[in-house]
């Protein structure tokens, strides 16, 4: 239902004019006009209170009230505003509703088009400012001010008269109503008239402020609750231990991290001091006292302590404690965050131990160390340096000149001088050079020399150089042997840097080289006249081994005058930014692989052909087995069909005799009826006597009673014939190419009905079939499996026995078990029962394919067939089929 609305402005004016014209007395008209205005005012205020409850938007309500006030007071424009205060406490006015006459003469709402500044009055020297500062009504008539007084928008009309009325809420100045330009000015009585309006405005602002404060408080509460939830979640899930105590240091709460670290639960430590629980004999008393002194002063503290878990295991704990104060600054809690720093402590201990070991290693190092003071020219060498050249301590006191002239190989001196000078001048970060030194015995020792300037003067001139010499003679000899070994490899080998620069090259001994080694070494392989695909693969291989791959292999082909040649390239990393590439001609291998591929395809085609032939023959064997089974069932079929046909035929003959008697009786009844119409009662009595005698002699009531039973037997016989024939047709029909949903229990029951004659004289069949879901399968193939297993069970029973058939759902499988209490089988027989053409029956009584065909059928259904048997204890065949319906 739409809310009721007050009359429109035109309707109210028309009603007022009509009412005024109907009165002859001016005083009465004035009184009636005032009464009408009061009525309209009260009605509007009532409606505003209702709208305040339903809408809650003060701006809309103020606009409605302001429009009504301007109409009732016949003012040109006005405003309703809220009194606010600046941070310094100075009041200012913020308008919620402004209505005035624009230059075009249209009534509009000023708030919709004015900026924020136009809605506020800050100047307290204006008429509205006087109301704000005094808190009293301000009435001004006959004004002759400047065209645009301060505090009003510039597009307002000239100010002729003004009435400013403050309104309060619970004694507090909360707003004011201002109206202007009433032609006859504003009398004192108008202030009293507008008092209900002022009360209503105060109530609206007070309610709106309360609602705003409530919403802000609710929002702040929600934000605080969310923050507390997040903090609680962080504290609960952090790996660090968090403890909250009261101001006296007694535990109030711990998180799960504390329990994981210490083994103590919240219930075990609540109300206890953490130190009483965690500290032990190894805890440093000085650190504990430092922490306690800080807590007594209500200060935060950070300290590392050795604590103990509930199990007594020690661990190092970094504790950071911060005090928590309430709004009045009173200490209420301590929050401690504890981090297990045991791994760091252990690491520090390991580092200290490593430093000690490093010192010992340097003292016992195999490297020969030397120290050259350039200011004095003194060269100091270590004992290891002397022993590396065969000298004992004191036998040799080398100087730099002696070292160069007497010990250094003549071929290495120039390069040694160049590299040393380059490092001394700062053009290289370190001196490094492999060269030869003369041993005391006269042989040459290869050494790797490394050195670094460790002190320079203010001008950058070197003052001291420290270096080492490592005996690399064995490595050099190994490199020479490796070089000889590489030369013996027939493949092409080259060493390449990451940017493609060839560092070393050995041509293949099997292929004519495309270019000489000099054309490779020092050149970028990417600029050589090589096929672009080969270069792209080489680039990818280099990137691969230099970024972590242990080996990159690719093949490529090159057209040569002798025809296409195939190559295999193997790339391994040899240094930080270097790799070794071995290229081998694999043309013959490719030809061999192609020949093998063709042979493999031919062999696969032959296998597929043989498989197709085998599947065809297997289908023929299955069909042959069906026909063989049908031959064994011939006697059963004849017996099962003859019996119902015989008793149906006999019953129908008897029924024919009964019907003939009924016909004779009916004929006599007809004669009686005729006699009753034409003969005297004596003749009727005789006929009735004969009829009664015949009915008694032939026992007509018994005949009629047997008639229903005979007809029921005939129906049952015909039903059995239909079921048997339908089962026979189902068993012998050809299987379609697509599996279908089938009830496994129905297939078992149909097979049992077809073999009823086989069971009748040799055994009793006990069925225990549990409900099974529909199975997607080939039903006739599974029926053949059940047929073969049941026939084997019957044939295994020598005289009289029992066969139990059960079905169950076991997990994701349907299981059918067929158990007989026959003589059982030996271990040798069990190992061969699924072998084609194996049979234990006398010659001419079995093909040996029944169980092998059963095995193949179940295997094609992704199932399995199991057998359990012992001599003298019978045999159980279990057929497991997966319950997959799609």
pLDDT at 733 over 60: no
From residue 503, alpha-carbon distances to 497, 543, 574 in Å are: 7, 17, 12
pLDDT at 219 over 70: yes
pLDDT at 13 over 50: no
Q: Which of 381-390, 692-701, 705-714 has the highest mean pLDDT?
A: 381-390
- What was the pLDDT predicted at 137? 92
> What's the chain's average pLDDT?
78
Shared-domain flag, residues 455 and 495: no
Q: Annotate 396-423 with b (16+ C-beta within 10 A) or e (fewer).
A: bebeeeebeeeebeeebeeebeebbeeb
Answer whether residue 228 is part of any domain: no
- Copy the structure tokens of residue 590: 């490719």
Answer whether residue 4 is part of any domain: no
Give the containing element (helix H, strand E) for 49: helix 26-54
- What was the pLDDT predicted at 22? 45
Q: CB-hemisphere CA count at 13 Å for 341?
A: 16
The pairing of strands 162-169 and 563-575 is unpaired
Q: Higher pLDDT residue, 725 or 427?
A: 427
Inter-helix orientation angle 744-754/700-732, to 10°:
110
- What was the pLDDT predicted at 150? 44
Residue 642: give the domain boundaries.
634-720
Shared-domain flag, residues 284 and 211: no
Lowest mean pLDDT, pick from 265-269, 536-540, 629-633: 629-633
Percent of the chain's residues with pLDDT above 70: 73
Residues 82, 88: contact at Cβ < 8 Å?
no
Q: Which of 569, 585, 601 is the last residue of a domain?
A: 585
**What is the pLDDT confidence band of residue 4, given thresholds at 50, 70 and 90?**
very low
Shared-domain flag, residues 80 and 177: yes
Q: How far apart are CA 251 and CA 270, in angstroms?
A: 5
Answer whether residue 620 is part of any domain: no
Lowest mean pLDDT, pick from 191-205, 263-277, 403-417, 518-532: 518-532
Q: How far apart are CA 275 and CA 338, in angstroms?
A: 12
- What was the pLDDT predicted at 18? 45
Spatial neighbors of 41 by CB under 8 A, at least 6 apart, are: 68, 72, 193, 196, 197
Shared-domain flag, residues 400 and 439: yes
Q: How far apart are CA 510 and CA 490, in angstroms?
A: 6
pLDDT tens readout for residues 601-630: 888 888 888 877 777 666 656 655 655 565
Candidates 774, 723, 718; CA nearest to 752 is 723
Interior angle at CA 465, CA 461 and CA 468, nearest 5: 155
CATH number of domain containing 308: 3.30.450.20
Q: How far apart are CA 763 and CA 750, in angstroms?
A: 18
Q: How far apart are CA 533 and CA 784, in angstroms?
A: 63
- The predicted model scores a pTM of 0.30
Q: Higher pLDDT residue, 26 or 284?
A: 284
The pairing of strands 120-121 and 107-109 is unpaired
Q: Which of 348, 382, 408 is the last residue of a domain?
A: 348
pLDDT at 327 over 60: yes
Residues 435, 412: contact at Cβ < 8 Å?
yes
Shared-domain flag, residues 686 and 764: no
**What is the pLDDT confidence band of residue 3, given thresholds at 50, 70 and 90?**
very low
pLDDT tens readout for residues 527-578: 877 788 888 888 888 888 888 888 888 888 887 777 788 888 888 888 888 8
Locus of tokens 């030397």: 370
Q: Which of 449, 476, 503 is the last residue of a domain?
A: 476
- What was the pLDDT predicted at 427? 92
pLDDT at 654 over 80: no
Shared-domain flag, residues 495 and 466: no
Answer whether residue 824 is part of any domain: yes
Candidates 238, 241, 239, 237; CA nearest to 253 is 241
pLDDT tens readout for residues 15-51: 444 444 444 466 666 666 767 777 777 777 777 666 6
Q: Higher pLDDT residue, 511 or 152?
A: 511
Shared-domain flag, residues 518 and 557: yes
Three-state secondary-structure class, residue 244: strand
Residues 781, 742: contact at Cβ < 8 Å?
no
pLDDT tens readout for residues 472-498: 888 888 878 877 777 677 788 888 888
Q: How far apart are CA 550 and CA 436, in angstroms?
A: 34
- What was the pLDDT predicted at 12? 43
Q: How far apart are CA 78 and CA 86, in angstroms?
A: 24
Query: CA Rg, the chain, in Å?
Result: 58
Shared-domain flag, residues 559 and 526: yes
Shared-domain flag, residues 267 and 343: yes
Q: How far apart are CA 810 and CA 814, in angstroms?
A: 6
pLDDT at 871 over 50: yes
Q: How many independent structural domains does the chain possess?
A: 6
- What was the pLDDT predicted at 208? 82
- Copy the structure tokens of residue 181: 């330009």
Answer whether residue 223 is part of any domain: no
What's 123's DSSP letter?
-
DSSP lists the bridge partners of residue 241 as 338
- What was the pLDDT predicted at 277? 86
pLDDT tens readout for residues 828-841: 888 778 777 667 66
pLDDT at 754 over 90: no
Percent of the chain's residues with pLDDT above 90: 10
Shared-domain flag, residues 567 and 496: yes
pLDDT at 148 over 50: no
Q: CB-hemisphere CA count at 13 Å for 225?
A: 6
- What was the pLDDT predicted at 681? 67
Answer whether residue 484 is part of any domain: no
Locus of tokens 């029921």: 712
- What was the pLDDT predicted at 412? 92
Residues 260, 240: contact at Cβ < 8 Å?
no
- What was the pLDDT predicted at 10? 41
Phi first, then psi: what are they for 154, rounded to 5°?
Answer: -70, -20
pLDDT at 279 over 80: yes
- What was the pLDDT predicted at 354? 66
pLDDT at 143 over 60: yes
pLDDT at 201 over 60: yes
Q: CB-hemisphere CA count at 13 Å for 199?
A: 10
Answer whether residue 771 is part of any domain: yes
For residues 721-737, average pLDDT: 55
DSSP lists the bridge partners of residue 166 as 176
Q: Higher pLDDT residue, 14 or 163?
A: 163
How many other CB atoms sit within 10 Å of the CB of residue 807?
Answer: 18
Q: How far apart are CA 98 and CA 115, in angstroms?
A: 13
Residues 258, 340: contact at Cβ < 8 Å?
no
Q: How far apart are CA 447 and CA 427, in angstroms?
A: 23
CATH number of domain containing 780: 3.30.565.10
pLDDT tens readout for residues 843-858: 555 556 678 788 888 8
The pairing of strands 763-769 and 801-810 is parallel
pLDDT at 299 over 80: yes
Shared-domain flag, residues 17 and 147: yes
**What is the pLDDT confidence band of residue 805, given thresholds at 50, 70 and 90?**
very high
pLDDT at 72 over 80: yes
For residues 508-537, average pLDDT: 77
pLDDT at 155 over 90: no
Inter-helix orientation angle 58-73/195-237, to 10°:
170
Answer whether residue 231 is part of any domain: no
- Copy the structure tokens of residue 69: 């006030």
- Copy the structure tokens of residue 621: 């064997």
Q: How far apart are CA 541 and CA 572, in angstroms?
A: 9
Shared-domain flag, residues 417 and 538: no
């Amino acid at each position: 239902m739409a809310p009721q609305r007050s009359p429109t402005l035109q309707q109210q004016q028309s009603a007022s004019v009509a009412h005024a014209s109907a009165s002859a007395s001016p005083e009465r008209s004035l009184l009636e006009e005032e009464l009408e205005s009061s009525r309209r005012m009260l009605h509007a205020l009532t409606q505003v209170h209702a709208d305040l409850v339903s809408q809650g938007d003060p701006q809309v309500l103020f606009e409605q009230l302001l429009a009504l006030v301007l109409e009732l007071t016949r003012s040109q424009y006005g405003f309703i505003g809220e009194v606010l205060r600046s941070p310094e406490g100075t009041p200012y006015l913020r308008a919620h509703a402004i209505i005035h006459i624009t230059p075009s003469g249209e009534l509009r709402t000023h708030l919709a088009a004015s900026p924020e500044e136009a809605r506020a009055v800050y100047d307290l020297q204006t008429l509205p400012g006087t109301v704000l500062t005094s808190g009293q009504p301000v009435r001004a008539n006959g004004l002759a001010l400047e065209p645009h007084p301060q505090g009003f928008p510039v597009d307002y009309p000239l100010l002729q008269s003004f009435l400013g009325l403050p309104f309060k809420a619970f004694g507090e100045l909360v707003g004011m109503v201002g109206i202007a330009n009433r032609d006859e000015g504003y009398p004192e009585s108008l202030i009293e008239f507008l008092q209900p309006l002022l009360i209503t405005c105060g109530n609206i602002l007070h309610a709106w402020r309360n609602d705003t404060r409530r919403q802000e408080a609710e929002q702040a509460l929600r934000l605080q609750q969310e923050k507390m939830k997040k903090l609680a979640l962080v504290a609960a899930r952090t790996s660090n231990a968090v403890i909250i105590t009261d101001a006296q240091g007694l535990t109030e709460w711990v998180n799960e991290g504390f329990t994981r670290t210490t083994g103590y639960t919240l219930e075990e430590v609540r109300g206890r001091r953490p130190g009483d629980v965690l500290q032990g004999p190894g805890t440093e008393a000085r650190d504990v006292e430092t922490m306690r002194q800080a807590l007594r002063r209500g200060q935060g503290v950070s300290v590392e302590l050795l604590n103990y878990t509930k199990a007594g295991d020690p661990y190092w704990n970094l504790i950071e404690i911060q005090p928590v104060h309430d709004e009045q600054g009173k200490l209420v809690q301590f929050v401690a965050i504890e981090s297990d720093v045991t791994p760091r402590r252990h690491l520090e201990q390991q580092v200290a131990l490593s430093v000690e070991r490093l010192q010992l290693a340097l003292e016992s190092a195999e490297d020969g160390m030397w120290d050259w003071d350039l200011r004095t020219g003194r060269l100091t060498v270590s004992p290891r340096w002397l022993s590396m050249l065969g000298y004992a301590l004191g036998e040799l006191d080398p100087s730099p000149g002696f070292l160069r002239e007497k010990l250094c190989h003549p071929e290495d001196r120039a390069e040694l001088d160049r590299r040393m000078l380059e490092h001394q001048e700062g053009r290289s970060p370190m001196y490094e050079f492999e060269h030869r030194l003369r041993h005391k015995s006269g042989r040459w020792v290869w050494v790797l020399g490394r050195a670094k300037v460790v002190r320079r003067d203010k001008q950058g001139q070197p003052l001291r150089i420290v270096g080492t010499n490592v005996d690399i003679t064995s490595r050099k000899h190994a490199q020479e042997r490796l070089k000889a070994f590489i030369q013996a490899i027939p493949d092409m080998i080259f060493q390449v840097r990451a940017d493609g620069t060839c560092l070393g090259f050995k041509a293949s001994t099997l292929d004519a080289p495309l270019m000489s080694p000099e054309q490779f070494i020092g050149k970028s392989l990417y600029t050589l006249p090589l096929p672009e695909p080969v270069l792209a693969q080489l680039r990818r291989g280099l990137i691969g081994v230099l970024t972590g791959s242990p080996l990159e292999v690719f093949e490529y082909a090159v057209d040569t005058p002798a025809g296409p040649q195939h190559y295999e390239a193997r790339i391994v990393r040899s240094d930080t930014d270097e790799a070794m590439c071995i290229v081998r001609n694999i043309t013959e291998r490719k030809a061999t692989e192609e020949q093998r591929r063709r042979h493999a395809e031919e062999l696969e085609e032959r296998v597929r052909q043989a498989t197709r032939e085998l599947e065809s023959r297997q289908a023929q064997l299955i069909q042959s087995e069906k026909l063989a089974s049908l031959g064994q069932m011939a006697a059963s079929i004849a017996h099962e069909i003859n019996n119902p046909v015989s008793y149906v035929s006999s019953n129908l003959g008897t029924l024919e005799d009964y019907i003939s008697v009924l016909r004779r009786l009916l004929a006599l009844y007809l004669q009686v009826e005729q006699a009753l119409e034409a003969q005297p009662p004596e003749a009727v009595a005789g006929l009735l006597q004969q009829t009664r005698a015949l009915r008694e002699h032939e026992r007509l009531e018994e005949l009629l009673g047997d008639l229903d039973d005979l007809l029921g037997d005939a129906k049952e016989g015909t039903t059995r014939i239909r079921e048997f024939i339908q089962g026979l047709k189902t068993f012998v029909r050809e299987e379609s190419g697509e599996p279908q949903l089938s009830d496994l229990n129905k297939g078992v029951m149909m097979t049992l009905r077809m073999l009823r004659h086989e069971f009748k004289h040799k055994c009793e069949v006990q069925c225990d079939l549990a409900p099974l879901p529909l199975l997607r399968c080939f039903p006739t193939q599974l029926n053949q499996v059940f047929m073969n297993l049941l026939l084997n069970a019957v044939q295994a029973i020598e005289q009289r026995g029992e066969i139990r058939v059960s079905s169950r759902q076991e997990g994701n499988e349907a299981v059918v078990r067929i158990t007989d209490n026959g003589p059982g089988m030996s271990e040798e027989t069990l190992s061969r029962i699924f072998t084609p053409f194996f049979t234990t029956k006398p010659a001419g009584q079995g093909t040996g394919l029944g169980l092998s065909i059963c095995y193949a059928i179940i295997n094609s259904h992704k199932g399995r067939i199991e057998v359990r048997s012992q001599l003298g204890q019978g045999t159980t065949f279990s057929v497991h089929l997966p319950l997959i319906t799609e």
